[in-house]
């Protein structure tokens, strides 16, 4: 059933990882399986057998050709450097080449204690696994670069967290699991050879356009500087997309920042409902470091940490290397601002570029903040208000009149778009989702699965989220913000 493995990471020198077989679980049961993804990965589904799949996706049986290992990495957690984190509960099986010819890594998350576990149990609670499954797949459907979820298995074990929970394993698929923290691990050990190996691997896998001999007159260091620049560009685009969806990652530590530009490590992540740029959900983010509005600048901070690891590759002269890196890190800010504007222009139904567009978008956000409007529904509601004020949109804004003043200003701008009102409305609906993984819905799904072994709500929500831009008759409730009693104010990392 498994596609052939094409091992890359396992062929790196031994100091990049520790070989480690998943720890068997007592009663593996497949509770979710992503068939379309399995097909694109080249799985042979004619031979699909649920109980065998449960053996594989729990780690009880290692597929032929896989060489399981735990990757080494370091990371800044909430600003504090830890030189040795590594996969404490994840095992990389290896890479496969998918139907589009792309390398994809398969990883079992929750596969048991590894030498990097640092006293923790190496397992993942079912709630965290289902959240990552739902949210990562939703992000993919929303058009955001992300790791994917291939399968979820319950283990038959009970884990002791805040409350006892069933144990589970998630099979995660990623372009790679190279993180800023992977570079930091080796830089902290002054292992320049390893940093170079990682940089070359990142270029080969994620930025192949930077390959090839350096043009005449150019130094080899420029390739690595171009790598930093390319990673920065992807991070700017990624975070702008998050901002456009009201997505809060929750733990933007450098070990959770992927070099590929994919969203990775869904822990206490959540989508904002009532718009407030200071929103924080994660219970462990006491200082609000990873609040919605801080995300773009945290990404830049993380890039600066990446730059530090690469300095010796940029230039033999340290001062000159620092000057080059600084220019790239500084260029991130205007780059991000451009990406942000492109995202929000689209959200407002604009395709032309005009001077006042940023102010127009910001004024809408200010009206949303003042009226505590639901971020997702407010943008979606604009599709109804292209020609005249729509009561459903106005109702989202409590007691605030700034929206009434803003709408005519927006319509005056739309008039210069050379598109009919119907075309503009269609554009708005194509980029502003109706359905997002709302926290209370995710919590309901988790409670049904963890407390009653009922996965029907999970399947239902997964299906709704597979078409986030299309109104689905009979599923209106999924588009609604949480009722007062179910509002989620805190999320937990589930580690």
Chain contacts with ligand AMP (rule: CB under 6 A): 85-89, 116-117, 120-123, 251, 255-256, 265, 267, 493, 495
Annotated catalytic residue within 87, 121, 255, 285: 255
Min CB(96)–ligand AMP separation in Å: 23
49 given a catalytic annotation: no
248, interface contact from ligand AMP, Mg ion, none, CB < 5-8 Å by kind: none
d(CA 311, CA 224): 9
Question: How many CB atoms neighbour CB 406 within 10 A?
Answer: 17
Q: Return all residues near 461 (Cβ < 8 A) that are at least 6 apart.
A: 134, 437, 441, 442, 445, 478
Min CB(318)–ligand AMP separation in Å: 31
- Alpha-carbon distances, residue 200 vs 103, 195, 302 (angstroms): 15, 9, 20
68, interface contact from Mg ion, ligand AMP, none, CB < 5-8 Å by kind: none
Q: Which is nearer to ligand AMP, 346 or 495 (CB)?
A: 495
Single residue of 265, 273, 315, 339 touching Mg ion by CB under 5 A: 265
CA quadruple 470, 474, 478, 479: dihedral, nearest 10: 50
Residue nearest to Mg ion (CB): 265
Q: Which is nearer to ligand AMP, 56 or 185 (CB)?
A: 185
d(CA 482, CA 275): 14
**Phi/psi of residue 28, nearest 5 degrees:** -70, 135
456, interface contact from ligand AMP, Mg ion, none, CB < 5-8 Å by kind: none
Min CB(345)–ligand AMP separation in Å: 33
Element (H, E) at 365: helix 357-371
The reply to whether 256 sits near Mg ion by the rule CB under 5 A is yes
d(CA 152, CA 149): 8
Q: Return all residues near 97 (Cβ < 8 A) that are at least 6 apart.
A: 3, 4, 6, 42, 103, 104
The reply to whether 262 sits near Mg ion by the rule CB under 5 A is no
Q: Which is nearer to Mg ion, 109 or 429 (CB)?
A: 109
Q: Which is nearer to ligand AMP, 41 or 108 (CB)?
A: 108
Min CB(488)–Mg ion separation in Å: 22
Min CB(127)–ligand AMP separation in Å: 13
The reply to whether 147 sits near Mg ion by the rule CB under 5 A is no
DSSP of 229-249: HHHHHHHHHHHHHHHHHTEE-
Residues near Mg ion (CB under 5 A), total: 2
The residue ranges that bind Mg ion (CB under 5 A) are 256, 265
Catalytic residues: 255
């Amino acid at each position: 059933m498994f596609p052939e493995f094409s091992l890359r990471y396992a062929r790196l020198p031994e100091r990049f990882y520790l070989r480690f077989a998943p720890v068997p679980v007592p009663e593996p049961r497949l509770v979710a399986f992503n068939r379309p993804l399995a097909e694109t990965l080249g799985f042979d589904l004619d031979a699909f057998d649920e109980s065998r799949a449960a053996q594989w996706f729990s780690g009880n049986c290692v597929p032929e050709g896989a060489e399981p290992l735990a990757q080494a990495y370091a990371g800044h957690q909430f600003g504090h450097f830890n030189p040795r984190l590594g996969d404490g509960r994840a095992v990389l099986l290896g890479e496969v080449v998918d139907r589009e010819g792309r390398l994809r890594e398969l990883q079992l998350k929750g596969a048991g204690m590894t030498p990097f576990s640092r006293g923790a149990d190496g397992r993942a609670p079912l709630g965290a696994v289902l959240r990552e499954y739902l949210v990562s797949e939703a992000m993919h459907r929303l058009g955001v670069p992300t790791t994917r979820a291939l399968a979820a298995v319950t283990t038959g074990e009970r884990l002791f967290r805040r409350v006892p929970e069933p144990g589970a394993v998630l099979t995660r698929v990623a372009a790679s699991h190279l993180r800023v923290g992977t570079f930091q691990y080796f830089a902290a050990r002054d292992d320049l050879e390893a940093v170079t190996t990682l940089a070359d691997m990142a270029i080969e896998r994620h930025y192949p356009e930077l390959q090839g001999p350096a043009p005449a007159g150019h130094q080899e260091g420029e390739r690595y500087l171009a790598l930093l620049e390319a990673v920065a560009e992807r991070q700017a685009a990624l975070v702008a997309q998050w901002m456009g969806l009201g997505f809060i990652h929750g733990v933007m530590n450098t070990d959770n920042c992927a070099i590929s530009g994919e969203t990775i490590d869904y822990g206490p992540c959540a989508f904002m409902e009532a718009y407030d740029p200071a929103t924080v959900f994660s219970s462990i983010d006491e200082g609000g470091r990873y609040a919605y509005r801080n995300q773009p600048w945290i990404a830049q901070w993380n890039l600066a940490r990446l730059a530090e690891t690469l300095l010796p590759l940029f230039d033999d002269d340290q001062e000159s290397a620092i000057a080059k890196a600084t220019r790239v890190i500084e260029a991130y800010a205007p780059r991000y601002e451009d990406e942000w504007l492109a995202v929000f222009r689209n959200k407002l139904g604009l395709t032309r570029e005009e001077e006042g567009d940023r102010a127009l978008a910001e004024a809408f956000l200010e009206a949303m903040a003042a009226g505590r409007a639901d971020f997702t529904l407010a943008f979606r509601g604009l599709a109804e208000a292209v020609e005249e004020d729509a009561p459903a949109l106005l109702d989202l804004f409590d007691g605030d009149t700034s929206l009434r003043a803003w709408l005519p200003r927006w319509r005056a701008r739309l008039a210069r778009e050379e598109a009919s009102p119907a075309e503009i409305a269609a554009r708005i609906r194509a980029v502003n989702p109706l359905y997002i993984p709302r926290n209370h819905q995710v919590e309901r799904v988790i409670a049904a699965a963890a407390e009653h072994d009922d996965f029907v709500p999970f399947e239902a929500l997964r299906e709704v989220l597979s078409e986030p831009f299309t109104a689905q008759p009979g599923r209106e409730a999924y588009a609604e913000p949480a009722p007062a009693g179910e509002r989620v104010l805190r999320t937990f990392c589930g580690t």
